[in-house]
Structures are given as structure tokens and as C-alpha cells.
Amino acid sequence: MGALVDIGPVTAAPSPPESEDHVFQTANVEYVRDLDDQEFLDLLDQVRDADIQTAFGPALENVRGGYAIEAGSGERSLAVVRAYEPPTLIVGGWGKLRLHVRDLDPAPNLSVADVRFYEADQKTIRSDVVRDVNARIKDGVDVLLMLGLPHAMHRCRGTIANATGCS
């Protein structure tokens, strides 16, 4: 995280809400340098939105305790926002790491995919890291959330199915 890379030529391949999607050849990717801490924070500050609702717009809706955007709608699927209410990392049902975010009503427990919270197997939660981050949040450290929506969802007779369709 925080490395500047050149990915070479790109071709836009948007599919709402994934408007950020681009195709590139991984063989063209070149490491340039690591950003220092302040450069990285400044970059995040340049691209961040005021809040989650502003970031994802009116298409964002509450779906079964989380938030989603219907397939084919929405303006984007990635965002950076400042958490104004301190979030909390918790181990939820099924032993999965979740982030309780109080900036939305109702407050969701979002899945956490950041590899820094997991052992090399990408399943075992690093409890020491979770405790450390929660302690820093409790001490008042500002929190920037880097959010990504799950794959777009289709509505199916009152239920939600993944982007491949209804069953």
C-alpha cells in the first residue's frame, strides 16, 4: 500500500456502478517508488468525499443490514471517506472480520478485505492488529475508509441476487 506504479496503457471498461474499471496488461506494470506517509495521506485527501452518501450517491440503498447499488446504476463502486463517528472492528458471525460504521443509519457491519488484518492464509484474523487499530481509533486517530461496493446486485421478486442473475 502506498506504492506508486505505472500500469502502462489502459482501456476504459466501465460497467455501472464499476465506472472505474479499466483493462491493462499486467506485464506492463512497473514499480516507480513508495510514497512517504504524508504523500500517501495527501493523495487520499485529494480523492476523498465528504461522506458515504455523497461518495456513492442516491443509488446507494440499505440491503439486509449492508449497503449496495443495483446493477447497471450508480456512478462508481470505489470511494475514500473520512469516518466522522469512530468505527469499530469486530469479529462477527462465522468468525469474519467486520467494521461497524456508525456514519450511516442504520449502521452497517461491513466486511474487511484489507490483507493487513489477516495471516498469510487470508483467513486467520490477526487479533493483535485488530486490538491495536481499535485502540488507536478509541484514542481519537482520524480514520479514512477506503470502500468498495460488492459486485452489483439485481432485484429478483423481492430478494437480491448477484450480478449473474436470479435463481
| 121 vs 68, residue with greater confidence | 121
For the purposes of burial, counting CB atoms within 10 Å of the CB of 68, is it exposed (0-12), middle (13-18) or buried (19 or more)?
Answer: buried
Per-residue confidence (pLDDT) for residue 46, from 0 to 100: 95
What percent of the chain shows pLDDT beyond 90?
A: 55
* Count of domains for the chain: 1
pLDDT at 105 (0 to 100): 78
The answer, as to whether pTM is greater than 0.75, is yes
* C-beta of residue 9 within 8 angstroms of C-beta of residue 28: yes
Mean pLDDT of the chain: 86
**In-domain check, residue 43:** no
Per the domain annotation, does 120 fall within a domain? yes
**Is 2 contained in some domain?**
no
Task: With cut-offs at 50, 70 and 90, classify the pLDDT of residue 64.
Answer: confident
What is the average per-residue pLDDT within 134-144? Answer: 94
pLDDT digits (tens, 9 = 90+) for 75-100: 888 999 999 999 999 998 888 999 99
pLDDT tier at 151, thresholds 50, 70, 90: low
Q: Has residue 14 been placed in a domain?
A: no
Residue 87 belongs to a domain: yes
pLDDT of amino acid 60: 87
**Does pLDDT of 63 surpass 50?**
yes
Residue 62 maps to a domain: yes
For residue 71, the enclosing domain spans 49-161
Asked if residue 84 lies in contact with residue 144, where contact means CB atoms within 8 angstroms, the answer is no
pLDDT at position 153, please?
58
Residue 42 lies in a domain: no
Q: Which residues have a Cβ under 8 Å from the Cβ of 166 and sit 6 or more positions away?
A: 154, 156, 157, 159
Sign of CA dihedral 167, 65, 79, 117: negative
Which grid coordinates belong to 153? 446486485
Which band of pLDDT confidence, cut at 50, 70 and 90, is reported for residue 157? very low
Query: Is residue 12 a part of any domain in this protein?
Result: no
